[in-house]
Structure 1
Amino acid sequence: MADDAEQTRDYRETVFLPDTPFPMRAGLPKLEPQILEKWAEADLYRAVRKARQDAGAPLFVLHDGPPYANGAIHIGHALNKILKDFVVRSRFALGFDVDYVPGWDCHGLPIEWKIEEQYRAKGRRKDDVPVAEFRAECRAYADKWIGEQMREFQRLGITGDWAHRYATMDYGSEAAIVAEFHKFVASGQIFRGSKPVMWSPVERTALADAEVEYHDHVSPTIWAKFPVQSGDERAKGAAVVIWTTTPWTIPANRAVSYNPAISYGVFEVEAIEQDLPFEPWAAPGDRLIVADKLADEVMKAAKVASFKRVSDVDCDRMVLAHPLAALDDGFGFKVPMLPGEHVTDDAGTGFVHTAPGHGADDYLVWLKSRQLLTELGVDQTIPDTVDPDSAYYPHVPLFPGLKVLETEGKKAGKFGPANGAVMEKLIEAGNLLARGRLEHSYPHSWRSKAPVIFRNTPQWFIRMDAALEDAVHGGKTLRQTALDAIDATAFHPAAGKNRIRTMVEGRPDWLISRQRAWGSPLAMFVDKETGEPLRDEAVNARIVEVIAAEGADAWFTRPAEDFLAGQDASKYEKVEDILDVWFDSGSTHSFVLENQREPGLPTHSPADLYLEGSDQHRGWFQSSLLESSGTRGRAPYKAVLTHGFTLDEKGEKMSKSLGNTIEPQSVIKDSGAEILRLWAGMVDYADDQRIGKTILQTTTDAYRKIRNTLRYMLGALAGFTDAEALPLEDMPPLERFILHRLWELDRDVRAAYEAYAFSDVTRAMIEFCQNELSSLFFDVRRDSLYCDRPDALRRRAARTVMDAAFERLTIWLSPLMPFTTEEAWSTRHPNAGPNTLRIIPETPAAWRNDAEAERWAKVQAVTSVVNGALEIERREKRIGAALEAAPQVAVAEAALAQAFEGLDAAEVFRTSQAELQSGETADEAFRLPEVPGVAVRPFRAEGTKCARCWRVLAEVSAPKFLCVRCDDAVEAWDIGQGAAA
């Protein structure tokens, strides 16, 4: 071995070590804002679009589902916008001209509540505030949060047409929404119906199904008796027993439903349970009618000790008395028994108390039974029982003014006194059989989280099942048009199609009216005599013109005469309800996709893609589908992509009260937006995904691997020019293999981006950087890159391939990691323009080399056995570095041995020397069970250590202590230095 004292020269200056200003530590929190500023100066999004348009690129449209403008963004927002940016940037990289306009949903209750709270804090009621003032406050509040969210989204690196951002509250947007509404009016799809709808007393408005969610709730339950007045003689003196969890609806009862397929009987009470702490309401001799299957359960609830079945009973055409009739003549009407398939004997009594003003099934069975009701002489009017605050109207006997739900103060959203009062009156009337409590799933408002009720109220609907003989529908209903559009749409994942299809198949008519202030109006007039909407193109044009100029506020502040264009205002009712906010956002395609924001800017509709969370199958995806199907006869999208929800590391829902939230702002401050982006690129977004400190640390580790790969290539490529590049035919086997892998990756990356399979790209990039590049190519070629003379073919080949890899990695990764790839690209090509301007380069088909891929799979299998043997030698301290080894490798399998033909085994093994033998070797040799037929004897290398490359070779000797290759390289370096001097 060479003695350091004998070495007369320090050769370090002659070694071509990697040289780059690209730092190992990214410093992303400081670096990213600088890159964002650079992009802003370059007007990056518009620059890329112009470049694509100049090249005649095809247009790709991603339509932004608008987030709600009422607070800082959360991790769900971040995931959604990052995924959209993956789409935008990947399509740019694939050579498309991408149209993406970020937008905001601005109308609706959450903002309205915030403003109401502000007024209450000042001692003012909303009803006392002029509508223009109130709406102006709502508009200002939404505008503030649009600005805040826009800055937060841009900080994530989201690129898009921010200069033309859209908002549903913009005057032009409101005008377009009203114009879309007018199309439904003109085609006859709008109607006013009085039927029970989900009603939020706290919010004082009707709700659509999509605005309702279900939470556990404890309700009072009652078993009430309806005395038989007429019908089957066997039922004389008996009472039909109903069971309900909404006692407050008893005053609205108008019928009892039964199922002809259920067996019912008359049961007589014989004895009551003894030693009870209270007096039961049942008594011996009482005759009760219930389903046979449920008799035991009913009697148990009534504390009946014994009973007998007296007879069968036929419910057909039976008439009952209201259970409160004895207390007030206002309840003295007939209560008919109505047949209904919705009645079951799974629970309760086998009968359904029917209040047609407070239940969907109740309403439908009432309508279906009109002929029977007429024959029985029953008043068919559906009563209005509770007002918008859920208080009984003054005309309701016994209970005027009592509230079902509290709507003011600290008790807002809690159940009021109505349930208790009704039960007390039933006891007084002698018709309460039993009561209890039940925890069950109860409807709540999606926004306020307060309970809702079914309430009969006039509302405006869009018909789902009216056949329309117009150019849009061609005789089909809106439901069928929408279903056909679903079938023509691509869904990612595919299960989304069945999900939305099932919802559309079963949904009722679309309830579109709301009794609130902050929204786009149902800007129409109704004929006071006929109740029909006015269909006048001139009037509608005037309405849209005024709203476009002054905003929707004008509809509420201007008199009717300003819109009626000569019509007699006294004949018409001006509708001042607002539209369902889902109609607002469902109309965005009309004023975003079909609006040419700048002269010459290409547009197309439908959009190529809608991308939102999976909950939007019942929300924006569906409202957009129905709105576009009703006005254009098709969906507003060609494809729909959905992602799941973000949970904590344990798979639990994030909650501030649990302290398990991950705020994107904190991650950006600590680690940078790039880490969030890489996390989004690593997860399977189609399912619910998880995030937390441990997961983010794993993401950071993956980021470092990618960054170090780029950094190494930048350093190793210092000074590389096209003149140094070698053609494919001059490439050694290893370089041919890496080029083959680049060809494979080019194919796979393109396919993955086309399919929105972003994690496939991320995984492939991480594995390529770690396996083929760092662990193989860089490791094998490090010696050549550092120590070969610059014009050596092997070194030139390695740098040529590295240049090709760098060129592709920086654009393949650009959609996922735009900050880091921009930093790497501009470090190497400071004058080449932004990395995002680039298109994925074509990869020559000649790079494909299946034979080399097969060869290197075998070579790496043999190498793994060598590495295993050397690891033991290092652990036992028999060698230090691999360069001190000269392994003897016996390969029994001919195919494995042939794989090394034309290769330098020592170079492949990263050792100074190596010997390959065919056949078996001694039993004490090292083996790996997963690579049979390969045995390694790890001998120490014999010779002297080269002072420059550190390989141990027999050719190294004093006085230079250089191997032949290094001696030649140093001589060339010295000549070059002399020439430079």
Structure 2
Amino acid sequence: MCADTPQTPDYKDTLNLPKTAFPMRAGLPKREPAWLERWAEIGVYDRLREKAAAAKGTDGARRPFTLHDGPPYANGHLHIGHALNKTIKDMIVRSHQMMGFDARYVPGWDCHGLPIEWKIEEQYRKKGKNKDAVPVVEFRQECRAFADAWVDVQREEFKRIGITGNWDNPYLTMNYHAEAVIADEFMKFLMNGTLYQGSKPVMWSPVEKTALAEAEVEYHDKESFTIWVKFKVAEAGGFVPADGEDADFAGADAALVAQDLEGAHVVIWTTTPWTIPSNKAVVYGAEIAYGLYEVTGTPEECWASTGERFLLADNLAADVFKRARLGEDQYTRLRGVSADELSSLSLKHPLAGVEGSNGEWDGIRDFRAAPFVTDTEGTGFVHCAPSHGMEEFELYRDLGMLEQVITYNVMDDGGFRADLPFFGGKYILNRKGGEGDANKAVIDKLAEVGGLLARGKIKHSYPHSWRSKAPIIYRNTPQWFASVDRKLDDGMDEMGTSIRERALRSIDELVKWWPQTGRNRLHSMIESRPDWVLSRQRAWGVPLTCFTKKGALPTDADFLLRNDEVNKRIVAEFDAHGADVWYQEGFKAKVLDGIVEADAYDQVFDVLDVWFDSGSTHAFVLRDREDGTEDGIADVYMEGTDQHRGWFHSSLLQACGTKGRAPYRNVVTHGFTLDEKGMKMSKSLGNTIVPEEVIKQYGADILRLWVAQTDYTADQRIGPEILKGTADSYRRLRNTMRFLLGSLSDFTEDQRVEPADMPELEQWVLHRLAELDHKVRDGYQTFDFQGVFSAVFNFATVDLSAFYFDVRKDALYCDGDTLNARAARTVLDILFHRLTTWLAPVLVFTMEEVWLEKYPGAGSSIHLQDIPNTPADWLNEPLAAKWSKIRQARRVVTAALEVQRTDKVIGASLEAAPVVHVRDSEALEALNSVNFADVCITSDIQLTSDPAPAEAFRMPEVDGVSVVFEKAEGGKCQRCWKILPDVGNHAHDGVCGRCDSALG
């Protein structure tokens, strides 16, 4: 190049390009802890409470909003379900705070109960230490220390996810005041007449040696022994059929009828052989067709004998004989047997009269009809051990015969009582929950005495303790119950006079359910539930603070000591010293002194069901704390769907017994977290996702974003590929925020343009913001985080990044002090404040980073801001309809140019000056009213209503718009890169007129 050849100036430095230090790469795992420290230093949560307190009594007063935390259990590191749960809660609290509420959140922990007690016992066993040899208070203190340590661990893990709340003062069910209130709430049941002691079959864990509630039980497949047992007919009572009643009996002699049943066997089927020693009866169905069958031949290895007769349901007889290894030609049906005839029979236990039985089973077994017998499975007869089955228990309770049929053969560890003939000391389960030796012993003995017809195994769904994972049994034990149907003596009858009535009315009249299916589930559970078993035979918990009169029966009016002054003394002692004092020598005498004679009463040492603990939390958190609620009722309870039988359930029952109504106004539920294939997570399968690992790799905001993107009301999936997709969404959103920050780097208030003075494109953005503001607020108010994030994300990536930013980059970068540039920056500033506040409840760390990039003050935080109010007059439906047509036409133009770019005819859209044929006159008018070339990012454009030539580009989905490609004519502006005829004709070399003006 010659030395005197003129050179075009480099205009890059004259452009208003985005300027920001906000990095493309987030580096969240390393940077998030610093923001946590900063929030702690400036006290964000406390400052929000102070802000609300200062606004009380003014026009800016904030209505309290309280989400009451369902307490996680204090034992072990967090799993992905914890992360989902707490993140949803956090988004509820933060979003309501930013919508103008005083949103309080007191995190809590469930600290009592079997899981912790079990851990301490495991430690004892490893050391060869006997729990029973340790003073109970010492043992309880070890449980307390264990829970306390895990509270500290879990608190830090929750904080790392970005959960806001009163972490310095959480609630713990083992705090002294909490224990005092739990006891006080229990004593309200004592005083209002719902508490009683009863003896009935309850779900019992032999491994843990305690009763269990339904919420503590889960169902797993289990292989069980199954046996067909013979009960011999002891005698037949001379039944005589009525004339014509049964063709088989026409004219038959009564004595002959009796004769062919005596010595026959009624066959029962059971999957719990260990209950046979406790059998007291057999029942049949009054509407079932039965027959008398005789064995006519037997194969080898068969427990039936030729000539034996059996009573069976006709629908099941063939299956029973098949199980007994008899062919169809080896038995015959002699005749039908009616229910009236069955009612005349009595039966013998298969172990009756056996040598060495000491008469244990010699009594005649009761034999009667029962409504729960069917002929769809088994034999058509049901063996009854009312001590181990609720239906049988209720049958004989209603008959007034419990004293005759209740047994106490099974001890608390699942072993038979030591003096039970043949089976004493045998165990249903071993210590680890596996099969014990009781079932085999019973089966072997039945086979030995000829009491067995068949045996086998069955795989079926069976209840297990969710803590020990061991099978449970039903066992009759004295327990303490809260009646759900007794009339309450408390004067709070507005919602009903019993716990059940109040609960059902609360569900329907006082509570909103998200989703509505939660209502149906809990309603059906409450409708059919039995009385609440409150007692547990353990050590670590709040004791049942009551006394029983020595020598009195549970049915006696004075059996329970009901005294307000005693109750007050107990509460005061617990408040000062904790529940451990109940176990200290002399406590009974101390609280009963001067009121009743202490020696006349026994002190109860069972502990409360932990669901009563957590169900009572509304009293010591919502009612008693300064950051609680005025009426002791929460705005929201939010937990997983399993809590319809857990915390939602127990809280409802407990509050209906002590407050007269539900303790919540809204109940939000989430599903379970599965792996990417929809499988339940399991360590053995290696498909678990640990929050800590996700945070280490991606950062907590990615985990939070996954929560926001999922439909939490159903079961959700998570895994490496899903997290990669979540991270990609995050990057796209981060780039949007980076563009905003860069474009606002030099924005000042004196550049602000009023909405009415803005170009149409900016007014359209404001319209979209007004639409979104309504959607965001409504979504947050209805806990629809997926809907909120989807709407904001689509707006940010489609409406903004792919359209508005794309169109306005030219004005932002190249214009001088023009209306377009100033209006665009004004809108970007408005966008900044809305996007950051809309997204702050979800992306707590990233939106803080974005905010501090623009407002870096020492006490600055996005989490101290509210979502800005959006003027209703920004809504402009006619303008939105017009710009919808413009954007549709733009789609056709950009698609047509993409074809030319792919064919390498052009490299950029600014090289084009297409001709756009528009059939619709209204659409053409809309396009002519704006700078459509700028909208399409072309150097020029021609609009015409002329018919489009055949070769014109068309899109089927946009009717009436066609594009003919033409190249732009003129020179290329060295500053804005548009190709225009006037380039080179201005004071500054190589630029267009617009850029020349901008250069001054």
TM-score tier after normalising by the smaller chain length: over 0.9
State the alpha-carbon separation in 2 of the partners of residues 905 and 94 from structure 1.
38
- Residues 7 and 961 of structure 1 are in contact (CA less than 8 Å); yes or no, is this contact kept in structure 2? no
Quickly say closer, same or farther: Cα 1:303–1:602, change in 2 above 3 A: closer
Note if 1:879 corresponds to 2:906: yes
Quickly say closer, same or farther: Cα 1:602–1:453, change in 2 above 3 A: closer
- Residues 513 and 578 of structure 1 are in contact (CA less than 8 Å); yes or no, is this contact kept in structure 2? yes
Q: Which position in structure 2 is the counterpart of 1:484?
A: 505
**Coordinate RMSD, CA, aligned:** 1.6
Note if 1:809 corresponds to 2:835: yes
Per-residue CA deviation, residues 692-747 of structure 1 (Å, 9 max, x unaligned), is 11111111111111111111111111221221111122111101100100111111
State the alpha-carbon separation in 1 of the partners of residues 346 and 599 from structure 2.
46
- Residues 595 and 603 of structure 1 are in contact (CA less than 8 Å); yes or no, is this contact kept in structure 2? no
Q: Which position in structure 2 is the counterpart of 1:29?
A: 29
Note if 1:403 corresponds to 2:423: no
Note if 1:938 corresponds to 2:959: no
Deviation at residue 212 of structure 1 after TM alignment: 1.4
More displaced stretch, 193-202 vs 315-324: 315-324
Q: Which position in structure 1 is the counterpart of 2:759?
A: 732
- Residues 164 and 597 of structure 1 are in contact (CA less than 8 Å); yes or no, is this contact kept in structure 2? no
Q: Which position in structure 1 is the counterpart of 2:253?
A: none
State the alpha-carbon separation in 1 of the partners of residues 850 and 333 from structure 2.
87
State the alpha-carbon separation in 2 of the partners of residues 730 and 281 from structure 1.
99
Q: Which position in structure 2 is the counterpart of 1:583?
A: 612
Per-residue CA deviation, residues 200-248 of structure 1 (Å, 9 max, x unaligned), is 1100001112211221111111111111123342521212111111111
Per-residue CA deviation, residues 416-466 of structure 1 (Å, 9 max, x unaligned), is 111111122212222211111111111111111101111111111111121
Note if 1:148 corresponds to 2:153: yes
The alignment-based identity, stated in percent, is 52
- Residues 66 and 629 of structure 2 are in contact (CA less than 8 Å); yes or no, is this contact kept in structure 1? no
Per-residue CA deviation, residues 301-351 of structure 1 (Å, 9 max, x unaligned), is 222332222233322152211110121222111101122111101011100
Q: Which position in structure 1 is the counterpart of 2:244?
A: none
Note if 1:521 corresponds to 2:543: yes
State the alpha-carbon separation in 1 of the partners of residues 796 and 455 from structure 2.
69
* Equivalent position to 2:716, from 689, 696, 718: 689
Q: TM-score, normalised by structure 1?
A: 0.95
Q: What secondary structure does 2:296 align onto?
A: strand
Q: Which position in structure 1 is the counterpart of 2:449?
A: 429
Letter paired with 2:753:
L
Note if 1:126 corresponds to 2:131: yes
Structure 1 segment 692-731 matched on structure 2, within 5 A? 692-731=719-758
State the alpha-carbon separation in 2 of the partners of residues 596 and 70 from structure 1.
25
Q: What secondary structure does 2:319 align onto?
A: helix
- Residues 271 and 283 of structure 1 are in contact (CA less than 8 Å); yes or no, is this contact kept in structure 2? yes
- Residues 755 and 763 of structure 2 are in contact (CA less than 8 Å); yes or no, is this contact kept in structure 1? yes
Note if 1:157 corresponds to 2:179: no
Note if 1:893 corresponds to 2:920: yes
* Equivalent position to 1:106, from 85, 106, 111: 111
* Equivalent position to 2:878, from 841, 846, 851: 851
Q: TM-score, normalised by structure 2?
A: 0.93
Deviation at residue 53 of structure 1 after TM alignment: 3.2
Q: Which position in structure 2 is the counterpart of 1:573?
A: 602
Q: Which position in structure 2 is the counterpart of 1:503?
A: 525
* Equivalent position to 2:385, from 355, 366, 370: 355
* Equivalent position to 1:299, from 307, 317, 321: 321
- Residues 708 and 785 of structure 2 are in contact (CA less than 8 Å); yes or no, is this contact kept in structure 1? yes
State the alpha-carbon separation in 1 of the partners of residues 861 and 222 from structure 2.
57
Q: What secondary structure does 1:191 align onto?
A: strand
State the alpha-carbon separation in 1 of the partners of residues 774 and 342 from structure 2.
71
* Equivalent position to 1:458, from 467, 478, 493: 478
Letter paired with 2:836:
T
Deviation at residue 481 of structure 1 after TM alignment: 1.2
State the alpha-carbon separation in 1 of the partners of residues 544 and 735 from structure 2.
59
Q: Which position in structure 2 is the counterpart of 1:449?
A: 469
Deviation at residue 379 of structure 1 after TM alignment: 6.4
- Residues 176 and 579 of structure 2 are in contact (CA less than 8 Å); yes or no, is this contact kept in structure 1? yes
Deviation at residue 825 of structure 1 after TM alignment: 1.4
State the alpha-carbon separation in 1 of the partners of residues 688 and 219 from structure 2.
23
Per-residue CA deviation, residues 664-691 of structure 1 (Å, 9 max, x unaligned), is 1111111111111111111000001111
Deviation at residue 395 of structure 1 after TM alignment: 3.5
Deviation at residue 469 of structure 1 after TM alignment: 4.5
Note if 1:799 corresponds to 2:825: yes
State the alpha-carbon separation in 2 of the partners of residues 171 and 746 from structure 1.
46
- Residues 131 and 557 of structure 1 are in contact (CA less than 8 Å); yes or no, is this contact kept in structure 2? no
Deviation at residue 863 of structure 1 after TM alignment: 0.9
Q: Which position in structure 2 is the counterpart of 1:975?
A: none
Q: What secondary structure does 1:162 align onto?
A: coil
Q: Which position in structure 1 is the counterpart of 2:41?
A: 41
Deviation at residue 360 of structure 1 after TM alignment: 0.7
Note if 1:336 corresponds to 2:366: yes
* Equivalent position to 1:867, from 894, 897, 900: 894
Q: What secondary structure does 1:164 align onto?
A: coil
Per-residue CA deviation, residues 854-878 of structure 1 (Å, 9 max, x unaligned), is 1111111111111111111111111
Note if 1:562 corresponds to 2:586: no
Q: Which position in structure 1 is the counterpart of 2:305?
A: 283
* Equivalent position to 1:137, from 126, 132, 142: 142
Letter paired with 1:486:
I
Quickly say closer, same or farther: Cα 1:6–1:912, change in 2 above 3 A: farther
Q: Which position in structure 2 is the counterpart of 1:977?
A: none
Q: What secondary structure does 1:293 align onto?
A: coil
State the alpha-carbon separation in 2 of the partners of residues 208 and 827 from structure 1.
53
Letter paired with 1:103:
G
- Residues 542 and 565 of structure 1 are in contact (CA less than 8 Å); yes or no, is this contact kept in structure 2? no
Q: Which position in structure 2 is the counterpart of 1:345?
A: 375
Q: Which position in structure 1 is the counterpart of 2:122?
A: 117
Per-residue CA deviation, residues 369-409 of structure 1 (Å, 9 max, x unaligned), is 33xx6xxxx961511011111111133222211111112xx
State the alpha-carbon separation in 1 of the partners of residues 149 and 459 from structure 2.
42
State the alpha-carbon separation in 2 of the partners of residues 581 and 902 from structure 1.
70
Q: Which position in structure 2 is the counterpart of 1:386?
A: 410
Structure 1 segment 103-252 matched on structure 2, within 5 A? 103-232=108-237, 233=258, 234-252=260-278
Letter paired with 2:933:
A
Deviation at residue 470 of structure 1 after TM alignment: 3.3
State the alpha-carbon separation in 1 of the partners of residues 428 and 797 from structure 2.
65
Q: Which position in structure 2 is the counterpart of 1:535?
A: 562
Note if 1:593 corresponds to 2:617: no
State the alpha-carbon separation in 2 of the partners of residues 6 and 663 from structure 1.
65
State the alpha-carbon separation in 2 of the partners of residues 449 and 4 from structure 1.
90
Per-residue CA deviation, residues 529-587 of structure 1 (Å, 9 max, x unaligned), is 22422111111111111111111111122332122223322211111111101001000
Q: Which position in structure 1 is the counterpart of 2:336?
A: 312
Per-residue CA deviation, residues 958-981 of structure 1 (Å, 9 max, x unaligned), is 66011111111111xxxxxxxxxx
Note if 1:66 corresponds to 2:71: yes
Deviation at residue 936 of structure 1 after TM alignment: 1.0
Aligned residues: 952
Structure 1 segment 2-21 matched on structure 2, within 5 A? 6-21=6-21
- Residues 193 and 486 of structure 2 are in contact (CA less than 8 Å); yes or no, is this contact kept in structure 1? no
State the alpha-carbon separation in 1 of the partners of residues 982 and 78 from structure 2.
67
- Residues 52 and 62 of structure 2 are in contact (CA less than 8 Å); yes or no, is this contact kept in structure 1? yes
Letter paired with 1:936:
V
- Residues 338 and 365 of structure 1 are in contact (CA less than 8 Å); yes or no, is this contact kept in structure 2? no
State the alpha-carbon separation in 2 of the partners of residues 798 and 746 from structure 1.
20
State the alpha-carbon separation in 2 of the partners of residues 587 and 468 from structure 1.
18
More displaced stretch, 677-686 vs 957-966: 957-966
- Residues 8 and 990 of structure 2 are in contact (CA less than 8 Å); yes or no, is this contact kept in structure 1? no
Deviation at residue 597 of structure 1 after TM alignment: 3.5
Quickly say closer, same or farther: Cα 1:951–1:7, change in 2 above 3 A: farther
* Equivalent position to 1:757, from 784, 793, 796: 784
- Structure 1 gaps, min length 5: 972-981
State the alpha-carbon separation in 1 of the partners of residues 405 and 959 from structure 2.
87
Deviation at residue 60 of structure 1 after TM alignment: 0.6
